[in-house]
């Protein structure tokens, strides 16, 4: 799936929020070339050498990146990030076809490294951790062998990986919420504002499966317009109003404590979560539709104006679903996979233009035309995601 050079990931707050995948890939046919009697595919034979060669080069380049990160050499980090991306572009299509799950693992760590090449500020420690994970993913790819598993078996593994991702992000949400609540209770408004957007990312990223949260969803994420009685209003947006509109945290301790309890309950609840590809896709479609039609109005973060943070997290959350269904797309509709890849990257690149000094601009700073452009991109993305339902 070819990336354009300017297509950078739009989300860096709270860490990189993509699903983990560690299983072997597939030829996408349900049987190996040897089993079928057909000539080996490029992925299973000649393509494997391309994967080995490309991965060896990427490991060498990633090692150079790690050295630059250790020295905190920003110019070298940016140069190596671009070089790694160039190598990945040269053979990622082969990887996607032959090893779809390993592809997902490399992709999720390569993207933020490439993104850093466009930033004037870099979190060297966080990027070093990502580089180490990329190196591990490359080593797994280097050892991977074409699988004779059917696409449905690979899809099952990908769904299981997505379930693990949801559990991981729910725990991160609970942990970040504890930090946020502590700042609220201490009365440190500016620090609480900064932590608010970080914690929100985790929730918004797993929102494609929010239906499985039950009444925890409204308890955590309800807006004032969603409740009949303001006295029953709880969650993040209740405290958001106090921070940005009321400019006072008086009386917020009880809401902070309840939010911690609710996010901890959510983290515990998702430990037993069982999903299927259709449910995941339906949730992603619904989320993107909501983003394009209602969230785009600025109703979600009406006080903080941090709507772009939410929208970017929603896009990334939906992208994790897309990455999970790559095995099915490989078998049934590679053209749709290419279109989705391009659309996600275009969406990410657009959102990136609204980042200033590492943060998204306030939503009320956008013009009507800019908001309409974002809405149109989201609608196009939703339309493409809708088409994936037919292959599951």
CATH number of the domain encompassing residue 111: 1.20.120
Q: Is the pLDDT of residue 36 over 70?
A: no
162-186 burial code (b ≥16 CB/10 A, e <16) = bbebbbbbbbbbbebbbebbebbbe
Q: Is the pLDDT of residue 376 over 80?
A: yes
Q: Does the residue 9 lie in any domain?
A: no
Residues in the chain: 392
Q: Does the residue 13 lie in any domain?
A: no
pLDDT band at residue 17, thresholds of 50, 70 and 90? very low
HSE-up (13 A, CA, CB side) for residue 388: 33
Q: Is the pLDDT of residue 47 over 80?
A: no
**What's the Cα-to-Cα distance from 31 to each of 83, 149, 151, rounded to whole Å?**
36, 6, 9
Report how many domains make up the chain: 2
Q: Of 120-124, 126-130, 158-162, 250-254, where does mean pLDDT reach its minimum?
A: 120-124
Q: Is the pLDDT of residue 184 over 50?
A: yes
**What's the Cα-to-Cα distance from 356 to each of 42, 119, 351, rounded to whole Å?**
43, 9, 11
The predicted model gives 254-263 an average pLDDT of 98
390 compared with 354, residue with greater pLDDT: 354
Average pLDDT over the chain, rounded to whole? 85
Q: Verify that 40 and 168 share a domain, yes or no.
A: no
Q: Is the pLDDT of residue 174 over 50?
A: yes
Q: Verify that 70 and 198 share a domain, yes or no.
A: no
127, 148, 169 — which closes off a domain?
A: 148
Q: Does the residue 171 lie in any domain?
A: yes
Q: Domain with 226 in it: what CATH number?
A: 1.20.1420.20
pLDDT, tens digit (0-9, with 9 covering 90-100), for 330-357: 888 999 998 998 999 899 889 989 988 7
Q: Does the residue 380 lie in any domain?
A: yes
Q: Is the pLDDT of residue 16 over 90?
A: no
- Say how many C-beta atoms besides its own lie within 10 A of residue 331's C-beta: 20
Instruction: Specify the pLDDT at position 33.
Output: 34
Instruction: Specify the pLDDT at position 8.
Output: 42
Q: Is the pLDDT of residue 22 over 90?
A: no
The predicted model gives 225-235 an average pLDDT of 93
pLDDT, tens digit (0-9, with 9 covering 90-100), for 189-206: 999 999 999 999 999 999
Q: Verify that 383 and 297 share a domain, yes or no.
A: yes
pLDDT band at residue 148, thresholds of 50, 70 and 90? low
122 token code pair: 């870099």
Q: Verify that 116 and 190 share a domain, yes or no.
A: no
Q: Verify that 43 and 165 share a domain, yes or no.
A: no
The predicted model gives 161-179 an average pLDDT of 95
pLDDT band at residue 10, thresholds of 50, 70 and 90? very low
Q: Verify that 289 and 300 share a domain, yes or no.
A: yes
Q: Of 46-55, 86-95, 289-298, where does mean pLDDT reach its minimum?
A: 46-55
Instruction: Specify the pLDDT at position 7.
Output: 41
Q: Does the residue 12 lie in any domain?
A: no
Burial class (CB in 10 A: 0-12, 13-18, 19+), 49: exposed
102: Cβ contacts below 8 Å, ≥ 6 apart: 21, 22, 23, 24, 25, 95, 137, 140, 141, 144
pLDDT, tens digit (0-9, with 9 covering 90-100), for 116-133: 777 777 889 989 999 999
Q: Does the residue 11 lie in any domain?
A: no
Which domain covers residue 290, as residue numbers?
151-392
Show the CA angle centred on residue 388, arms to residues 383 and 390, nearest 5°: 110
Q: Is the pLDDT of residue 295 over 80?
A: yes
Instruction: Specify the pLDDT at position 145.
Output: 80
CA 233 – CA 223 distance, rounded (Å): 8
Q: Does the residue 282 lie in any domain?
A: yes
Ramachandran category for residue 3: left, alpha or beta (phi over 0 → left; psi -120 to 50 → alpha): beta
Instruction: Specify the pLDDT at position 147.
Output: 66
Q: Verify that 187 and 60 share a domain, yes or no.
A: no
């Amino acid at each position: 799936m070819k990336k354009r050079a300017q297509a950078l990931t739009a989300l860096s707050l709270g860490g990189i929020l993509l699903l983990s995948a560690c299983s072997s890939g597939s030829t996408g046919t349900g049987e190996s070339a040897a089993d079928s009697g057909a000539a080996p595919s490029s992925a299973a034979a000649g393509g494997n050498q391309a994967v080995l060669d490309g991965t060896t080069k990427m490991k060498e380049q990633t090692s150079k990146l790690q050295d630059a990160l250790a020295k905190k050499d920003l110019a070298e980090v940016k140069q190596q990030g671009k070089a790694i991306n160039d190598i990945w572009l040269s053979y990622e299509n082969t990887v996607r076809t032959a090893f779809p799950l390993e592809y997902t693992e490399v992709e999720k760590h390569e993207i933020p490294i490439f993104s850093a090449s466009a930033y004037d500020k870099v979190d060297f420690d966080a990027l070093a951790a990502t580089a180490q994970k990329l190196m591990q993913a490359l080593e797994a790819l280097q050892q991977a062998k074409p699988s004779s598993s059917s696409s449905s078996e690979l899809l099952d593994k990908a769904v299981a990986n997505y379930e693990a991702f949801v559990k991981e992000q729910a725990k991160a949400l609970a942990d970040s919420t504890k930090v946020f609540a502590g700042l609220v209770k201490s009365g440190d408004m500016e620090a609480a504002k900064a932590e608010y957007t970080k914690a929100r990312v985790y929730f918004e990223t797993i929102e494609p499966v929010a239906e499985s949260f039950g009444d925890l969803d409204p308890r955590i994420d309800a807006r004032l317009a969603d409740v009949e009685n303001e006295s029953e209003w709880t969650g993040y947006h209740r405290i958001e109003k106090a921070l940005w509109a009321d400019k006072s945290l008086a009386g917020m301790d009880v809401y902070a404590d309840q939010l911690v309890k609710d996010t901890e309950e959510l983290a515990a609840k998702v430990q037993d979560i069982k999903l299927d590809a259709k449910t995941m896709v339906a949730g992603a479609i619904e989320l993107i539709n909501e983003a394009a039609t209602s969230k785009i109005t600025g109703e979600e973060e009406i006080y903080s104006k941090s709507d772009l943070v939410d929208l970017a997290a929603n896009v990334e959350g939906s992208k994790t679903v897309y990455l999970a269904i790559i095995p099915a797309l490989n078998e049934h509709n590679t053209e749709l996979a290419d279109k989705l890849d391009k659309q996600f990257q275009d969406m990410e690149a657009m959102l990136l233009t609204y980042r200033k000094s590492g943060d998204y601009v306030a939503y009320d700073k956008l013009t009507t035309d800019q908001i309409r452009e974002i809405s149109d991109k989201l609608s196009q993305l939703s339309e493409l995601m809708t088409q994936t339902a037919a292959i599951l």
